[in-house]
Homo-oligomer: A and B are copies of this chain.
Amino acid sequence: MLEKTTRINLLYDFYGPLLTERQRTMLELYYHEDWSLGEIADYFGISRQAVFEGIKRARKIMEGMEQELRLFAKHVRRREIVEQIRTEMKGSSDRKAVESLLQELLDLD
């Protein structure tokens, strides 16, 4: 459950700006503020089911955008590459290895 929530939070960081205001509010109340479906339903004056569907749809949209753009996956890979360069720099800094990592960074975009 925690892992799933973490993934949603990270997807939200990347794709939240492309959701509607209403979708963002629902996700924030549910995942960040830990409101129940019932509380969110009362807040919007809609049914629990509508909130459930709204959250499900927002998540599906974000997963769909990730499938197309891979921003989250690239972000993770970029962090790994930076860590590898840091490790190289701590040692005798093999320039060829660093160059190859830098090239991978460029190719990711």
Residues of A within 8 A of B (CB): 14, 17-18, 65, 68-69, 71, 75, 78-79, 82, 85-86, 89, 93, 95, 98-99, 102, 105-106, 109
Given contacts A78-B109, A93-B93, A109-B78, contact A17 B102 (CB under 8 A): no
Contact of A17 among B14, B68, B99 (CB under 8 A): B68
**Alpha-carbon distance A17/B70, docked complex (angstroms):** 11
**Alpha-carbon distance A18/B14, docked complex (angstroms):** 14
> Which 4 residue pairs spanning A and B have beta carbons closest together?
A17-B68, A75-B109, A82-B102, A89-B95
A99 CB contacts on chain B under 8 angstroms: 86, 89
Given contacts A17-B69, A18-B65, A69-B18, contact A106 B85 (CB under 8 A): no
